[in-house]
Amino acid sequence: MQIAITDQTLAVLVHELGEECRHVVDLIAQLQLATLSVEQKSDVLAELMTATIHLHSHCDQDFQDAIAQELEQ
């Protein structure tokens, strides 16, 4: 997918962020299944915790600065 960002590193980071967000949405959808067993729920919640930690670390100050620099161009 083409991203309208000039900085190649930022474009890759934004693409990866999109992939991780889609993964989180998929996990949330799994939690909505009525047939989810207790074990499956535990697995999904553990994976959701890992994904949210990854998202949090992904959106650090360097990422925010890169977005700010892109906005200034």
Q: What is the pLDDT of residue 28?
A: 98
pLDDT tens, position by position, 32-68: 999 999 999 999 999 999 999 999 988 899 999 999 9
Q: What is the pLDDT of residue 59?
A: 87
- Give the contacts of 15 (CB within 8 A, at least 6 positions apart): 1, 3
pTM for the model stands at 0.84
Cα-flanking dihedrals φ and ψ of residue 68, to 5°?
-60, -40
pLDDT tens, position by position, 19-35: 999 999 999 999 999 99
Dihedral in degrees, nearest 10, Cα atoms 58, 64, 70, 72: 180
Q: What is the pLDDT of residue 1?
A: 63
Q: What is the pLDDT of residue 66?
A: 94
